[in-house]
Amino acid sequence: GEYDDPEQVVEVMQKVPLRSFSVRLSGYRPFRDMFFAEFEENESLKEYVKRLRKALLEEEISFDRKKFMPHVTLIRRADCTKGKAFLPEFQESDAMRVNGISLMKSEQGRHGVVYTEIGYARAL
């Protein structure tokens, strides 16, 4: 979402304890004009997001309150109509270790979206 003081968001991120945990991809899925990879259900991730959102509320920092859906965007501006988009068959993913979180800024550049890290919070 949009917020005028990203440094305040980073401060909150750094105050909310994050214990390292593992995640694993579970498959691909189209959404509007994108394809993304979904993550398996993960209680550690869900609990962290719940605590982070609570801390943001306590600091009166607005955020998108839609259901949290962890994913990795693979393709933007794809034609996701049936039979048009092709991704290879999903192969079981290795576990990936989460050792921190980043606050990212996204801007439309000449060749697509450009992501810049604004701040980082390391896991304990």
* pTM attached to this predicted model: 0.83
Nearest one of 18, 19, 37, 17 to 27, comparing CA atoms: 37
- Per-residue pLDDT of 60-113, as tens digits, reads 999 989 999 999 988 887 776 665 666 678 888 899 999 999 999 988 888 888
Residue 97 has, within 13 A of its CA and on its CB side, a CA count of 6
DSSP 76: S
**In order of start, what are the domains of the chain with their CATH numbers?**
6-122 (3.90.1140.10)
